[in-house]
Amino acid sequence: MPSMALNDTPAPADITCPPCKSSLAGVGRDDLAAALTAAGVPAKHVRMRLSQLWSWIYAHGATSWDAMSDVSKELRARLAEAYSLQRPELVSEQVSVDGTRKWLLRLNRRGHDRRPPEIETVYIPEAARGTLCISSQVGCTLTCSFCHTGTQRLVRNLTAAEIVAQVQVARDDLGEWPTSLENRRLSNIVFMGMGEPLYNLDNVAAALDILSDNEGIAISRRRITVSTSGVVPELKALGERTGAMLAVSMHATRDELRDQLVPINRRYPIAELMAAIRAYPGLSNAKRVTFEYVMLKGVNDAPADAKALVKLIAGIPAKINLIPFNPWPGAPFQCSDPETIEAFAAIIRRAGYASPVRKPRGRDILAACGQLKSESEKLRASARRRATASAS
Ligand code: SAH
Ligand code: SF4
């Protein structure tokens, strides 16, 4: 399918949002229970009502109170007076020639937001699974030198509801309501979009509770992977609180180089990172850590680097994911040659590790790792320039 153009609309003016009802799409059980209580449901009935609402919202994908046929009209009206079930605004959808989809979502303004923040979510269909790559922050505070998100300032953490809403929007579009446990198009989730999930662990953990809840979206924690650049002090808590699969953005085996590529390494150097990974709760052959390794031409792609990587992770139940560098305008790196990547992968395979080379997906719509948000920023700037030109 050809890719569709983004809506090239001017950025909304920086005005206060009209009074809008707060949305309960994406919120957890506690917030839903509080809404029911506020709507006058007696304490002894809250549990039962909560279970009905939960099923409508998270198993059936309801976007309006009207749909909830087993909830009384009076209660529906009271809920509708105070709350909506609105999703974030879908600004655009792009579909790559390879079937990858990218959604640009506009969130409501919160706290100090000067404008409604925008985030991107990417769906990658594969033969045996479909993976949704979601964002945990708007932008990122870290500045990994090969990552485009890292060149954009952090706007803010996403709330748990905003994290969950990315999955809801994807399932709306994929036509996956009500939840079926078989043949799902969206079967896996990776926190590999914008942001550092471990700098927003409370909301990431709350979102995982909602996404894995068996009475709702029911995606097993074993199918949810959280990728981190190496926020060592939070690794244990991630494992204990979420039971998620762990992916670590390794990218280098020497501190000197990793300091350059992944600057958080200056705070938590490789030895500390490896110790925290070895202690990750639940690590086993059935629950391996994924080491991500971006292939940068002439920087980290020599056979000696592959051998050093194998040595570094010895004894850890692991997979290694080689990611061809995805270029972006002005990036100071190039992707390694295919032969170099293959030689690197062969060394890792010989050492007994699965070493899939991640096929770049959705490159035509800038949906690949490390490219998120860039296009929308660019378009916004161009739209702004045009708006300014036509006003003068
Ligand atoms: N902040 C987290 C998760 C988001 S980044 C982290 O760093 O792990 C998801 C993955 O994309 C990381 O492994 C990151 O190193 C990788 N990545 C970033 N920019 C990239 C690029 N331009 N090409 C290939 N991979 C990239
Ligand atoms: Fe942030 Fe991850 Fe990009 Fe580094 S690679 S700048 S941690 S999003």
Rounded Cα–Cα distance for residues 282 and 141 (Å): 29
Around 208, how many Cα atoms within 13 Å sit in the side-chain half-sphere? 25
**Atom number in ligand 2 closest to CA 262:** 4
The encoded tokens of residue 302 equal: 């020599």
Q: What is the pTM of this model?
A: 0.90
- On whether the CB atoms of residues 24 and 57 are closer than 8 A, the answer is yes
pLDDT tens, residue order, the chain (392 aa): 333 332 333 333 333 344 568 899 999 999 999 999 999 999 999 999 999 999 999 999 999 999 999 999 999 999 999 999 999 999 999 999 999 999 999 999 988 888 899 999 999 999 889 999 999 999 898 999 999 887 877 778 999 999 999 999 999 999 999 988 788 999 999 999 999 999 999 999 999 999 999 999 999 999 999 999 999 999 999 999 999 999 999 999 999 999 999 999 999 999 999 999 999 999 999 999 999 999 999 999 999 999 999 999 999 999 999 999 988 888 899 999 999 999 999 999 999 998 777 777 777 777 666 565 544 454 444 444 443 344 33
Q: Is the CB of 196 under 6 A from ligand 2?
A: yes
CA 183 / ligand 2 centre spacing (Å): 32
Q: Which of 369, 371, 372, 375 to mutate to test the pocket of ligand 1 (most atoms within 8 A of CB)?
A: 369
Q: Is the CB of 323 under 6 A from ligand 2?
A: no
CA 111 / ligand 2 centre spacing (Å): 23
**Atom number in ligand 2 closest to CA 140:** 1
Residue nearest atom 6 of ligand 2, based on CA coordinates:
150
pLDDT at 139: 87
pLDDT at 360: 72
Q: Is the CB of 200 under 6 A from ligand 1?
A: no
Residue nearest atom 19 of ligand 1, based on CA coordinates:
370
Q: Which of the ligands is closest to the CA of residue 295?
A: 1
Q: Which of the ligands is closest to the CA of residue 191?
A: 1
pLDDT at 348: 95
Rounded Cα–Cα distance for residues 325 and 299 (Å): 11
pLDDT at 369: 60
**Atom number in ligand 2 closest to CA 227:** 2
Q: Is the CB of 262 under 6 A from ligand 1?
A: no
- On whether the CB atoms of residues 228 and 270 are closer than 8 A, the answer is no
CA 140 / ligand 2 centre spacing (Å): 6
Q: Which of 134, 229, 369 to mutate to test the pocket of ligand 2 (most atoms within 8 A of CB)?
A: 229
> In the 3-class helix/strand/coil scheme, how is the chain assigned residue by residue?
CCCCCCCCCCCCCCCCCCCCCEECCCCCHHHHHHHHHHCCCCHHHHHHHHHHHHHHHHHCCCCCHHHCCCCCHHHHHHHHHHEECCCCEEEEEEECCCCCEEEEEECCCCCCCCCCCEEEEEEEECCCCEEEECCCEECCCCCCCCCCHHHCCCCEECCHHHHHHHHHHHHHHHCCCCCCCCCCCCCEEEECCCCCHHHHHHHHHHHHHHHHCCCCCCCCHHHEEEEECCCHHHHHHHHHHHCCEEEEECCCCCHHHHHHHCHHHHCCCHHHHHHHHHCCCCCECCECEEEEEEEECCCCCCHHHHHHHHHHCCCCCEEEEEEECCCCCCCCCCECCHHHHHHHHHHHHHCCCCCCECCCCCHHHCCCCCCCCHHHHHHHHHHHHHHHHHHC
Residue given tokens 């409501």 in the structure block: 108
Residue nearest atom 24 of ligand 1, based on CA coordinates:
325
pLDDT at 372: 57
Q: Which of the ligands is closest to the CA of residue 139?
A: 2
Q: Is the CB of 306 under 6 A from ligand 1?
A: no
Q: Which residues are catalytic?
A: 120, 369
Q: Which of the ligands is closest to the CA of residue 251?
A: 1
What residues does 157 pair with on adjacent strands?
Answer: 137
Residue nearest atom 4 of ligand 2, based on CA coordinates:
144
pLDDT at 44: 97
Q: What is the phi-psi region of residue 387: left when phi exceeds 0, alpha when psi lies from -120 to 50, beta otherwise? A: alpha
Cis geometry, peptide bond prior to residue 332 (ω within 30 degrees of 0): no
Evaluate the CA torsion angle 159, 161, 166, 167 in order and state its sign. Answer: positive
Residue nearest atom 4 of ligand 1, based on CA coordinates:
192
